[in-house]
Amino acid sequence: MNMIQALNSALDVKMGQDEDVLVFGEDVGYFGGVFRVTEKLQEKHGLQRCFDAPLTEGGIIGAAIGMGAYGLRPVPEIQFADYILPAYDQLVSEAARLRYRSNGEFWAPITVRTPYGGGIFGGQTHSQSPEAIFAHVTGLKVVIPSNPYDAKGLLISSIECDDPVVFLEPKRLYNGPFYGRPDEELKTWANSDHVGADVPEGHYEVPLGRAAIVREGTEATVLAYGTMVHVAEAGILDSGVDAELIDLRSIVPLDIDAITASVRKTGRCIILHEASRYAGFGGELSALVQERCFDYLRAPIARVCGYDMPYPHAFEWDYFPGPVRLSEALKSAVEYR
Amino acid sequence: MPILPDSNLSKSNLPPLSLYIPEPPARPGEEVSFAHVDRGEPGAVRRPDSAETEKEMRDLPYKLIRVLDDDGNAVGPWNPMLGADTLIKGLRAMMLSRVFDDRLFRAHRQGKTSFYMKSTGEEAISAAQSLALDKGDMFFPTYRALAWLHARNYPLTTLCNQIFSNAEDPLAGKQLPILMSARDYDFYSISGNLGVRFAHAVGWGMASAYKGGRKISLGYVGDGTTADGDFHEAMTFAGVFKAPTILCITNNQWAISSFAGFAQAEQTPFAAKALAYGMPGLKVDGNDFLAVWGATQWAAERARTNNGPTLIEFYTYRAEGHSTSDDPTKYRPKDEASKWPLGDPVERLKDHLIGLGEWDEERHAALVEELKEKVRVAVKEAEKIGTLGQSKPPIDEMFEDVFEEMDWRLKEQKRELLHRRGLEGKKG
């Protein structure tokens, strides 16, 4: 399965198991979604289980919260993460706080699926990576898969979770892995032997809050998620540094133990994300590593990120933090002092 | 970019443009004017069948539905024909709400709580709706609707505990005073940000319909909040999916210091906004307990029979300041409340009951005293547990319910706080 089919399978499995799971959003019903993630779900599970919504992100999330309070498990879709901002108030002030402010009387077991990330010539409003603005919100979980197997397992876990989850799908990885080299011939998930390309048919879970060590290494730790996991693989090979690569998978909750253990072992840490650098999630990761691994660090923690500007169209590959930039950062880190 | 001089000579025969800024009819020191209020005639608005199509009801939002006339008689088709027992129950709930508001407002002035908001003049709305709807129908309130809880006999001491944020606060000290949550009373968690919960009411109603249930939802916004995008979003969802929901605007003429004209009340009644969303809109005398009940019953019947949502504008007046932090004499005439043409909801229902021979001044005065005593006792009991800062919920609670289960951050932060408290305890 590619990532689209894996996500579709997760929705199909959960809809089959639990009639309280329903899916709605712009164009997700009859048409099956602009990225085909909800294809055939309406046909299979019925009009009321998977339906189109009016073009209002605030309304979609607001209604989902109300459904959640009733006892359903809605899985609303926001067509692009760039367009989730009209629903930000609903997510921050309501979904994230409902349980806390009602002292546990009401909660919002919703999973908001949304495609995110760049590398597709999406320009300013089809490329953004807004994970940091959700990570900062107490009460929200934030999940980001990097391969089809995780995508399905993490989505199932998110739907089953009673906390509100923002589920960011790297659309650059929908059809195949992407190593950050746009001139290279692209592989589909089917013809790649990449880890996670095999997806079982039925129900399985990938737990939230647990990172995956994609590659073991001794000289440095690279922290990445989403598309950047693959870019990191390429960058590490280019650099010749024996780096350990950790795919965080969920940034809230964060697998702090995996991160700490790795950096204490390697003594160096590079953080890689597409989102712009200033106040990005890399800042939090850097602070956590510094606090917990200070005595073990042999080089400054480095962040390889998007630049601090709106995502540009023509300059896509200058903006996108590709393997070359990671490779340079890794080499600098091992050569430090 | 520089602003270019207007050189459009071909339009020089027109007067220059001028920006219109709405202004209320009267400011402090000026004579109160309610000339713009069209009270209509009690009993004059028709009551269509609740299954009627929206198209056939477009006249409704422009006329004020009233049942009680100036002599206290119930007239016309919207009279819900309630028994005296029910009417007295409603009267009691409204009176309790008012007595409670007065007492807790004083408690704020005495420093026993940080904040309070009264519902004075608007008690009929949530009291009547609380009694008219069924157990299990979910209410998505604003912060000016505590009469819902009073009508259902929510324990007063518990309410005071929440307002004092003391050790037995049902919300464990997490929420501002009166931003209640009371699931067992079908009272959804209130938050400080306006409008957002209007869509929750719609989603809740959709969920009930999806599950083939029989419950309906009831959502509130104030007049000011209709300007918020959330209003439009919720109305769109409600209209598109024919949600079994009653959506209400409590138009009390004021949003803090801004008169309703800033939410566009000058050109069209709020109730008429319903028409753009394909649902019926009712404009109802919000100070008329019977009219509120009648309209709610009609809208509930419509929702329960899969005929979809209704928007109701409750036309009323915010008789007191916005909150304990507000002084309304700074922006409106001091005596405006007393001149409101639709009167006082408590007085009007009382006069009606007296007219029916079911009530009298003595019983009324005795009930006031009884309720004052009840509230006094409740406040005393809550004070014994503690007022603001004198008593707090267990500190562990502070970290609970951020998530279903605490993550490592919260566990660490809790440990840190408890450790520091332990050290401070030793010092003391």
Q: What is the DSSP string of B201-224?
A: HHHHHHHHHHTT----EEEEEETG
Distances (CA, A) of B2 to A221, B5, B8, B11, B17: 53, 9, 17, 22, 20
* CA–CA separation, B120 and A277 (whole Å): 52
Q: Give B59: exposed, middle or buried? Use CB within 10 Å, 0-12, 13-18, 19+.
A: exposed
**Cβ–Cβ contact A207 with B under 8 A:** no
Q: Which string of DSSP letters, residue by residue, matches A271-321?
A: EEEEEESTTSHHHHHHHHHHHHHGGG-SS--EEEEE-SS---STTHHHHS-
- Residue of chain A whose alpha carbon sits nearest to that of B399: A100
Reply yes or no on whether the pLDDT at B51 is more than 80. Answer: yes
Q: Which amino acid is at A141?
A: K
Mean pLDDT of successive 10-residue stretches along chain A, which has 337 residues? 98 98 98 97 98 98 98 98 97 98 98 96 94 98 98 98 98 96 93 91 98 98 98 98 98 98 98 98 98 98 98 96 98 95
For residue B84 the two structure tokens come to 């005296």
* CA–CA separation, B113 and B177 (whole Å): 8
Q: Give catalytic residues of A, as residue numbers.
A: 126
**Cβ–Cβ contact B406 with A under 8 A:** no
B424 pLDDT band, cuts 50/70/90, is confident
Alpha-carbon distance B179 to nearest alpha carbon in chain A (angstroms): 9
Reply yes or no on whether the pLDDT at B3 is more than 70. Answer: no
8 A C-beta contact, residue A255 and residue A248: yes
B199 and A141 in contact by Cβ < 8 A? no
Nearest by CB to residue B191, choosing from A67, A101, A256, is A101
Q: Which string of DSSP letters, residue by residue, matches B39-103?
A: ---TT-S----TTS-GGGGTTGGGSEE--B-TTS-B-STT-----HHHHHHHHHHHHHHHHHHHH
For residue B15 the two structure tokens come to 């007067």
**Cβ–Cβ contact A184 with B under 8 A:** no
pLDDT at B9: 59
pLDDT digit string, tens, across residues B202-222: 999 999 999 999 999 999 999
* CA–CA separation, A143 and A75 (whole Å): 14
Measured between beta carbons, which residues in chain A are less than 8 angstroms from residue B208?
70
* CA–CA separation, A109 and B207 (whole Å): 13
The helix or strand, by DSSP H or E, that contains position B197, with its residue range, turns out to be: helix B196-210
- Residue of chain B whose alpha carbon sits nearest to that of A93: B193
* CA–CA separation, B174 and B399 (whole Å): 10
- Residue of chain B whose alpha carbon sits nearest to that of A51: B241
| Pairs of residues, one from chain A and one from chain B, whose beta carbons lie less than 8 Å apart | 144
With 0.90 as the threshold, say if the pTM is over it. Answer: yes
Nearest by CB to residue A70, choosing from B199, B207, B404, is B207
- Residue of chain A whose alpha carbon sits nearest to that of B393: A103
Measured between beta carbons, which residues in chain B are less than 8 angstroms from residue A163?
403-404
B189 and A89 in contact by Cβ < 8 A? no
HSE on the CB side for B41, CA within 13 Å? Answer: 6
Measured between beta carbons, which residues in chain A are less than 8 angstroms from residue B236?
54, 56, 59
Dihedral through CA A103, CA A109, CA A113, CA A116, nearest 10?
20
* CA–CA separation, B196 and B216 (whole Å): 18
- Residue of chain A whose alpha carbon sits nearest to that of B175: A101
HSE on the CB side for A272, CA within 13 Å? Answer: 35
User: Which residue, among A328, A163, A65, has the nearest Cα to B219 in the 3D structure?
Assistant: A65
* CA–CA separation, A25 and A34 (whole Å): 11
Measured between beta carbons, which residues in chain A are less than 8 angstroms from residue B199?
58-59, 62-63, 65-66, 90
| CA dihedral (A24, A25, A31, A32) positive or negative | negative
Bridge partners, residue A165, by sequence: A111, A141
| Interface subset of B 209-268, CB within 8 angstroms of A | 210-211, 217, 229-230, 232-234, 236-237, 240
Nearest by CB to residue B210, choosing from A48, A161, A163, is A48
B428 pLDDT band, cuts 50/70/90, is very low
Q: Which string of DSSP letters, residue by residue, matches B129-158?
A: HHHHSPTTPEEE--SS-THHHHHTT--HHH
Measured between beta carbons, which residues in chain A are less than 8 angstroms from residue B189?
98, 101-102, 105-106
- Provide ipTM, 2 decimals: 0.97
* CA–CA separation, B168 and A103 (whole Å): 12
pLDDT digit string, tens, across residues B227-281: 999 999 999 999 999 999 999 999 999 999 999 999 999 889 999 999 999 999 9
Pairing of strands A50-52, A111-116: unpaired
pLDDT digit string, tens, across residues B146-171: 999 999 999 999 999 999 999 999 99
pLDDT digit string, tens, across residues B279-321: 999 999 999 999 999 999 999 999 999 999 999 999 999 999 9
Interface test with A, best of B137, B139, B193, B196 (most A CBs within 10 A): B196
* CA–CA separation, B72 and B376 (whole Å): 31
Measured between beta carbons, which residues in chain A are less than 8 angstroms from residue B218?
none
Measured between beta carbons, which residues in chain B are less than 8 angstroms from residue A106?
181, 183, 188-189
